[in-house]
Structure 1
Amino acid sequence: MRVLTLVAGLLASGAASAGTLTLAPEAITEWKPIYGTVAPRTEVPARARIGGLIEELLVTEGDAVTAGQRIAMVRDDKIGFQIAAYDAQIKALQAQLTTAETELGRGETLIARGVTTAQRLDQLRTTVDVTRGQLAAAEASRAVVVQQGAEGDVLAPEDGRVLTVPVTRGAVILAGEPVATIGSGGLFLRLSVPERHASALKEGDTIRIGSDTPAEGHLARLYPEITGGRVTADVEVANLPGAFVNARVPVSLPVGERDALLVPAAAVATRSGIDFVTVMEGGAAVARTVVLGEPVGDRIEVLTGLAAGDEIVVP
């Protein structure tokens, strides 16, 4: 009691040279602490376009890739045999076409001499046309098979970073199976927010990142789908560490507002572990013990000990 009396006397002695401030409730932001995870905006699989054996695998987890970069090669031995078969067929059709064109030239000479008939000449022309069509069809079929062989190259669909490689060199893969998963679109903090707080959030809101020395981010996207009672949101943060995807980071979300009493930090005196704020009562300065909350800028929230309308002394 002697200590408290002494403190009150010391505070009152300096009140004459200090200013006063009348307390009034102020709206402050209510923050909800949650955890976010470092994640790419999109995860796109790089798929094999043909089935076969993985002959080359050029990337591993963590590698940076660009759109169109070759990351693997799938070989199908049957394609080589099919191309050889079409080559033989094309060579035979070319020989048939040469013979048919020779017969057609001989027929045109004979009909000019009146030796053969027009019907025979038409048959020779038809044979040439049919052989040319068969040759064109065989060449087109060969081009399809050659294109299938070229599609053995697995290409990165977008610029980004390789997250997973679920296959190994020498493995057998089917058409459409993923060879690697690419994280693209940049790294964001992905949040899973309870749906009761979703209505309080909007794109562009400032988000606190971290706990000891909070940084700031901005709500870049609020996804419209609710899954399991939670809403997904992406927060854009400058210089976000990208060493590990799915790393957890503490985040504070603005989920509403409430009224609070705020006093300047200079108006609070701490003695023997007890916080005091000097108020004017009946023209005299009186020290009141208070319970403080979190700092808000250069002011501190007072939880108990003061009421709206109190006139506090500010040094």
Structure 2
Amino acid sequence: MSRPLLLSSLLAVAVISAGSLLAEPFTVTAKPVTVWKSVYGSVEARDRIPARSRIGGTLVELSVNEGDLVTAGQEIARIVDDKLDFQLAAIAAQREALSAQLANAEVDLKRGEDLLKNGVTTTQRVDALRTQVDVLKGQIAALVAQADVVTQQAKEGVVLAPVAGRVLDVPVTKGAVLMPGEIVAVVGGGGTYLRLAVPERHATALDAGDKIRITEGGEDREGTLARVYPLIEGGRVTADVEIDGLPDSFVGKRMLISLPVAEREALLVPETTLVTRAGLDFVGLKTPEGVALRSIVPGETHVIDGIPMVEVVTGLAAGDVVLPASEATHAAEVGHE
């Protein structure tokens, strides 16, 4: 048997089984139902990292706005400090002066070595000239390293995105003067999750791994309670919820969440046993005298094993036998005639 045909056969068997269950008399029993607590959760970015300026200066370029998508390492701004160019010019002038002194010192050293060979000068004098050459070379090397530092500082004027994600905030504008460490943009990345603030009286009922319901666009979705934080602030417990496909278009967006906080006993009847007349709800009750319609007050609807079950607030007791709506209506009409 092919896979599609096998799945169709299994589905048909399940539908027939559910239909036969609803077509038979149903004995009312108390069953545990989950108590759901509705709270609001806010969409949060998993990583919320600021892109900061590493040098002070003027913001000459700003290539991102709030809501833009960026990649890790992407250039988002550029800061220029004019003093760095002046420092490089000063270092270059000092290096030229030392280079001239070094050339003169090397000539003196060469002359001194020639004189030493002819016995005209002393070894001490030549060593002093050689030391002077080494000192000038060291000073030039120090200036080169200093120039590299200033050049690196100038390169650090480029502000890069710390992570891939969406730009959440840009608190500066082009032309602003920034100090080192100031925030240029805040980038949210690493995906999103829901953060909840639950009243502390429900804290003991929350466990990591619990399934929760999320209402979005009129449809219910399922998520998982990933973490419950131990710190209670302002009478509320903070918890995180993981959900696949959560959009990051609006970080901070509020969404309605239903959390399982307790269980209670309730009397449930299949939804197909309810009969509505003149705005009142009835069920067909099987009694020793026959079938009688009894008025009930229905409550919430719970889906149990794929079957919609209506909670009966009042009107029935455990052990009562109710009939499908069609059979109860027919029996009541025959009795009325």
- TM-score tier after normalising by the smaller chain length: 0.7 to 0.9
CA RMSD in angstroms, aligned pairs only? 1.9
Pick one of 27, 33, 42 that aligns with 1:28: 33
Per-residue CA deviation, residues 275-313 of structure 1 (Å, 9 max, x unaligned), is 112233336333221111111112111111122222333
Q: Contact between 2:57 and 2:81, CA under 8 Å: does it hold in 1?
A: yes
Q: Which amino acid aligns with 1:137?
A: A
For 1:235, which of 235, 241, 249 is the aligned residue? 241
Measure, in 2, the Cα distance between the counterparts of 1:51 and 1:131. 33
| Unmatched tracts of structure 2, length 5 or more | 1-22, 328-337
| Cross-structure match for 2:24 | 19
Of the structure 1 ranges 54-63 and 214-223, higher mean CA displacement relative to structure 2 is found in 214-223
- Contact 2:40–2:255 (Cα < 8 Å) also in 1: yes
User: Is the CA contact 2:191–2:248 (under 8 Å) kept in the aligned structure 1?
Assistant: no
Question: Distance between the aligned counterparts of 1:225 and 1:140, measured in 2?
Answer: 51
The structure whose RCO (Cα within 8 Å, separation 6+) is larger is 1
Shift in Å, 1:209: 1.4
* Cα distance in 2 for residues equivalent to 1:224 and 1:182: 28
Q: Percent sequence identity over matched residues? A: 55
Q: Which runs of 5+ in 1 are unaligned?
A: 1-17
Measure the CA separation in 1 of the matches of 2:138 and 2:229: 56
Partner of 1:9: none
Instruction: Give the whole-Å Cα distance in 2 for the aligned partners of 1:167 and 1:161.
Output: 17
Which residue does 1:260 correspond to in 2? 266
| Between 302-311 and 141-150, the greater mean CA deviation after superposition | 302-311
* Alignment match of 2:212 (pick from 207, 210, 217): 207
| Separation in 2, partners of 1:30, 1:310 | 24
The aligned amino acid for 1:301 is E
Cα separation, 2, equivalents of 1:223 and 1:180: 29
Residue by residue, what CA displacement relative to the aligned partner does 1:125-167 show, whole Å, maximum 9, x if unpaired? Answer: 2112211221111111111111111111111111111111111
The equivalent residue for 2:335 is: none
Q: Which residue identity does 1:302 align to in structure 2?
A: V
The answer to whether residue 156 in structure 2 is matched with residue 151 in structure 1 is yes
Which of 123, 148, 166 is the matching residue for 1:118?
123
For residues 92-114 of structure 1, the C-alpha deviation after alignment (integer angstroms, 9 at most, x for no partner) is: 12222222222222222222222
Structure 1 residue identity aligned to 2:180: A
Match of 2:322 in 1: 312
1:39 to 34, 39, 44: 44
| Aligned length in residues | 298
TM-score by length of 2: 0.82
